[in-house]
Structure 1
Amino acid sequence: MASSRLDFLFCNLCGTMLTVPSTEYAQCPLCKTRRDIQDICDKEISFTISDEDIRRELGMEIIEEHAVMEYSKVSKKCEKCGHGEATYYTRQMRSADEGQTTFYTCTGCGHQSQEN
């Protein structure tokens, strides 16, 4: 008997997707509730996941191979050599509601530093 609903994939108690650690039962990885394997046997499951979904889940950025990084110059004293000029660029390293991280490179000695 085919099910038109997809609730057989999920835990009845907490809604987490079930795993199948045994040939006898499916188990919720969160609350450890078990369901008889016959409840999900012979059901076809398909889903699509995009590369964007994977990047978002892992917190990764798209890195373009041929992107040329443009560096701006700023007056900033180097912690290492005391030179007064550095190049910098910014990146969003944390969540969008937090500030960017600024990366500095001394034009005199190449020392690198950052500010959050």
Structure 2
Amino acid sequence: MEFCDECGSMMKTENGTWICGSCGYEKARDEGSEKGMVTTTGQEETEIVDISDAEDSGRPTTTAQCPQCDNDRAYWYMQQIRAADESETRFFVCTECEHKWREDDH
């Protein structure tokens, strides 16, 4: 990928030349520097591992007292539930009974 020296827009190749679609700036392609560019073409497929049946679902655990069964371990995750300028809310899920609660619940 190459960016325009004049306006910073992404450039496209056409007949051995980089051309900016925004301002029309052109520059010759340099095969030497293009060898270091990474493309998705020809990359090996990445193996996707399904952890949906994993015991902890890949979530971190912490010490937290479950209000339902008094277990002292819980999985936790953060989620944005209010406006973007508000902080995220931390949710806990009990490792024993799977009861779910928020950090601010009492």
Task: Please tell me the TM-score bracket, short chain as reference.
Answer: 0.3 to 0.5
TM-score for the superposition, normalised by structure 2 = 0.42
Question: Which structure's residues are more often strand, by fraction?
Answer: 2
